[in-house]
Amino acid sequence: MEPKLSSDLLRGHTETIVLGILLKRDMYGFEIYNTILERTGEKYELKETTLYSSYKRLEKEGCITSYWGDETQGARRKYYRITEKGCELYQQNKLDWEFTQTIINDLLKEEE
């Protein structure tokens, strides 16, 4: 049997994924998309529309801010920066995920 990734399982964690990526540095939208592909060895792809909806929600909630870059060549890019509130949300969501993972692992253990 081949393992497969349930997109439903990860869909609820899109904001946490975005926040985790922005912890290192500011990025523009398509760069975040590419980072997700790169980090997962192209095993997981979030649709751009899903990501951009996530950016809007996170910005509305005050977890990220955006600004326009001043590229001298090519198209202007909108960059995203994590806020203190976003850092706190990321830490809480990561803690919640680790707790959930522990519970699921306990429930899936085969009795010896």
- Residue 83 sits in a domain whose CATH number is 1.10.10.10
From CA 59, how far away is CA 81, in angstroms rounded?
9
User: Tokens 């060549």 — which residue?
Assistant: 73
Residues present in the chain in total:
112
Name, in order, each residue with C-beta under 8 angstroms of 79's C-beta and a sequence gap of 6 or more. Answer: 26, 27, 28, 66, 67, 68, 69
Q: 81 lies in a domain?
A: yes
Q: 3 lies in a domain?
A: no
Note down pLDDT in tens along the chain; length 112 residues. 888 777 777 778 999 999 999 999 999 999 999 999 999 998 888 888 999 999 999 999 999 999 998 877 778 899 999 999 999 999 999 999 999 999 999 999 876 5
Q: 1 lies in a domain?
A: no
**Domain range for residue 84?**
8-108
3-state secondary structure of 99: helix
pLDDT at 110: 79
pTM of the entire predicted model = 0.87
Amino acid at 5: L
pLDDT at 111: 67
Overall domain count for the chain: 1
Q: 2 lies in a domain?
A: no
